[in-house]
Structure 1
Amino acid sequence: MGVAMARRIAKAGVELTAWNRTLSKAEPLKQHGASVCGSIADLRGKDVVFTMVSTPADLEQVLLGEGGLLADPEHVPAVVVDCSTVSTESSAAIRRACEELGVGFLAAPVSGNGKVVRAGGLSLVVSGPRETYDGVAHLLDHLGKSVTYVGEGDAARLVKIAHNLMLGVVTQSLAEITVLVEKGGVSRHAFLEFLNNSVMGSTFTRYKSPAFVNLDYSPTFTPILLRKDFDLGLAAARRLDVPMPVTALTAQLVQASVGSGRVDEDFSILLDLQAAASGIELKPENVKVDDGLGAADAKDGS
């Protein structure tokens, strides 16, 4: 996903140097005018560095670990923009480390995945010093369709975690009603076509429909990553004294998906688990389903 984001910045004509822990993943960016470096240390003198990793531990290692971006206090970038989904507490710790070194830091988690990025549909939520945000807003605009600034500090982390809680809750609900109508004799593609064209349809339900209809669970977001976000969200709910009974129940179903062992597939396997609990076995319907991103793909030239 980070590579897809970097590609959009490079295609916008911005001078870009990319680094990835798996170097071969960054190599395709060269065809869009980007340079690729072999060490994150090579990015220390840059004006703005974007980071995108999976976990708080990864973020700490990339920025503060041995050989990390901020390991040499004499050579640091001016601004770090982190697009990962991590806890507010982890983000605040990284922010303090950046401030001690005179480095501007923005929390800028995103909504979307690689295909959404390529289609120009990415959404970003950003928090941090307003002056820092204003200085890099033109770069953020290249990444997708919308950028929302939500204030100082690390508020963007809570916003993104809340977003991902809804992601899981909506997907579980979608799995339940899809299995209900299938067991009642209605095909999944017919039901989802109706739903997506009704007031209850959304960009997300349309985007997930091909996976639900054809049982293609190629990973865009794994059960492990979704469980991490539910853990973060429920911890925030306890800290803020907010009851979240529907979220708590969904967290158990997400845990069941992890317990199934299918941790390398997309979290859409919630559909299979719901079907098994309902006494039916799903089969691919082999129907072409519009995911709603085709037009944006064409516009982006992908």
Structure 2
Amino acid sequence: MKQHKLGWIGIDRMGYAMAARLAKVGCDLSVWNRTKSKAEPLAEYGAKVVDHLSDLAACDIVFTMVSTGDDVKELLFGANGVMSKGGKPKLVIDSTSISLEASAEIRAELATHGVQMLAAPVSGNAKVIKAGKLTIVASGPQGAFDMALPYLDTVGAGVSYVGEAELSAGALAGWGAVHARTDVTVEG
């Protein structure tokens, strides 16, 4: 699967496991992490470890999986961010657990640069990801979702598109509770 050039920012337990799934199936993947040594093992699966965030501007799609909305803003728009040298991806997929307000601010700023955003919070942990059972709920433009779907399907088993409304990890938790309740009702 080498349809698009992918970038990945954030290699913690979750980010590593998600990026590894993409690299293992042959995606053209470049990765960046604040602590480079955490990203280097992904090279074993074919990922390219880059030194500068701006190197990811040449990617079609950039995933973010970091700690906060402020981190996402700095990594994308900061002085040394992805778009600091004038390049830009076509799509940013943010799986960071951030507020609706932060997500809306990031989406609006990306739009001024002609970049689409898909909010794609996840439910699971590294073991769930490795087992291929991660749940992802995505919101954003339909075209962005269509572009991202093959990669989201690679990372997780349960990918749901909920339309263009803003979505946060908190909304995902509520969706997951309803979904789990529905499963219990159907099963039981």
Please state which band the TM-score falls in when normalised by the shorter chain: 0.7 to 0.9
Number of aligned residue pairs: 166
Give the aligned partner of residue 77 of structure 1.
89
User: For residues 1-302 of structure 1, what are the structure 2 equivalents within 5 Å?
Assistant: 1-72=14-85, 74-155=86-167, 157-162=169-174
- Shift of the alpha carbon at 1:70? 2.5
- Shift of the alpha carbon at 1:104? 1.1
Distance 2:146 2:83 in 1: 23
Contact 1:107 1:157 in 2 (8 A): no
Query: Which string of whole-angstrom CA distances, capped at 9 and with x for unpartnered residues, describes residues 127-184 of structure 1?
Result: 00001111121111100111000010313555225368x6xxxxxxxxxxxxxxxxxx
More strand by proportion, 1 or 2? 2
- Shift of the alpha carbon at 1:71? 2.8
TM-score normalised to structure 1 length: 0.52
- Choose between structure 1 and 2 for higher RCO, CA contacts under 8 A separated by at least 6 residues: 2
Distance 1:91 1:161 in 2: 16
- Shift of the alpha carbon at 1:7? 0.3
**TM superposition outliers: structure 1 runs of 4+ over 4 Å:** none
Contact 1:127 1:156 in 2 (8 A): no
Structure 2 counterpart of 1:138, one-letter code: P
RMSD, matched Cα:
1.8
More helix by proportion, 1 or 2? 1
Percent same amino acid among aligned pairs?
Answer: 45
Higher alpha-carbon Rg: 1
Q: Secondary structure at the match of 1:43?
A: helix
Q: Secondary structure at the match of 1:142?
A: helix
Q: Gaps (5+ residues) in structure 2?
A: 1-13, 178-183
Q: Gaps (5+ residues) in structure 1?
A: 167-198, 200-302
Distance 1:133 1:60 in 2: 21
